[in-house]
Chains A and B, each alone.
Chain A
């Protein structure tokens, strides 16, 4: 959720949101913030599934080191969403084996 008021940092400026598409769903974002921040603000912590067992993963380090937050962004796989800035209209897709597919196999 967004922190609108803050005793030190003041009110969040009201810049108009841009929209990005995450797994087909449009979510609002602040241009230039990391993709992961926008997705977490929208209430979703899971950013990928592991490749083999389909376990959920989200941001851990937040500085581009651990790569647990990677997603496919505009067709480019393994983009670190914790350090990649939002641009309006980005298409973002969750990577990895989905648990449903694992279950079928």
Chain B
């Protein structure tokens, strides 16, 4: 890895970062993608389910296949990907500090930076929540689908958003059992079609329930579930014990926005999108000039919208470098926005679109150098 001739550094080789890199490289920018993991693709390769949406959004294609084609596209267009590379700082003068896979320390000086660092899953506090075997649902999914390891015979799933529903299904696909799926709210959070699939497989979905505690000495051995009333208070006497070896926690994600904080970007707080987020404009540029964001760091959505946001950031960064005429860039960006807006419709999408519009409203014309 050399620091000469890097126009754009993309941090994160997940769906957003790879899409950004592909688009910017297509327009002639010299792009370097850095990712701390030893394989690219972010969380796409553990997603063995078919994506939703329209044909434009690769509906019906499984996540890992989308990852394969994104990687091929990025490589074909000449963006370089450096793996095992930890970005530990972005300094006020925009130098990017990296530790490489072979433990070398580098200071890179790109013209533009695109942050596509994703999100991490939330924890949930209850007695026993630190016992080995209490894992994020995403960690269970990675173990099961990527590494072909089932943490335990029987799992308790906590949270009925799409992650909880899909991972429950995938545990069953892999031959594991899901003893129950509990959801504190009175209704299921995710798509009805996912819920129906696991119901048909006999997984009890207990809305208005939560995990009271988890027991075990060196590992999860069982859990006590409890019903909740309409004010989310435990209903006395409703406790029941189940025997399980793993608890998967699917209670939302929080954007990994530390690097944006380090850059001095202005933040806003939108709980629906995961909490504290860097604001950005219609070009995905933050209030720190030359620093762009894309994907879950801008608010937790899904891979499809992350990829579109990545493309937007890639086009905008290339445009800012003069690699593409503004008139041409406008056409390209408009096409991406049309696809993004199509994704943000319906029961779940519209609320996200409204929240995202609050971010861009705050971010427009607010650059500081």
Contact = CB atoms under 8 A, between A and B. Distances in A.
Classify A-B as touching or not with yes or no (CB < 8 A): yes
Interface in B119-148: 120-121, 123, 130-136, 138-140, 142-145, 147-148
Interface in A28-45: 30, 33-34, 37, 40-41, 45
Nearest to B134: A60
A2 B149 contact: yes
A55 B130 contact: yes
Interface residues of A, number: 35
B148 A6 contact: yes
The B contact surface, by secondary structure, is loop
B82 interface: no
Contact of B149 (A41, A55, A57, A60): A41
Contacts of B134: 58, 60
B149 A62 contact: no
Given A8-B62, A37-B143, A82-B139, A63 B132 contact: no
Contacts of A47: 132
Nearest to B136: A61
A51 to B, nearest CB: 14
Contact of B218 (A34, A46, A62): A46
Contacts of A56: 131-132, 217-219
B48 interface: yes
A40 B219 contact: no
A12 interface: yes
Interface string B303-339: 0000000000000000000000000000000000000
Contacts of A60: 123, 134-136, 139
B173 interface: yes
Interface in A52-97: 55-66, 68, 82-83, 85
Contact of A63 (B139, B148, B173, B220): B139
A63 B138 contact: yes
A3 B175 contact: yes
A57 B219 CA distance: 8
Interface string B99-127: 00000000000000000000011010000
A2 B176 CA distance: 11
B362 to A, nearest CB: 27
A16 interface: no
Given A47-B132, A59-B143, 13 more contacts: A1-B153, A8-B62, A9-B145, A30-B147, A41-B147, A46-B132, A55-B130, A58-B135, A60-B135, A61-B136, A62-B143, A63-B138, A82-B139
26 contacts: A1-B150, A2-B149, A2-B150, A3-B144, A5-B175, A9-B148, A12-B148, A33-B147, A37-B147, A40-B143, A45-B245, A46-B132, A56-B132, A56-B217, A58-B219, A60-B139, A61-B120, A61-B121, A61-B136, A61-B138, A62-B135, A62-B138, A62-B139, A62-B142, A66-B120, A83-B38
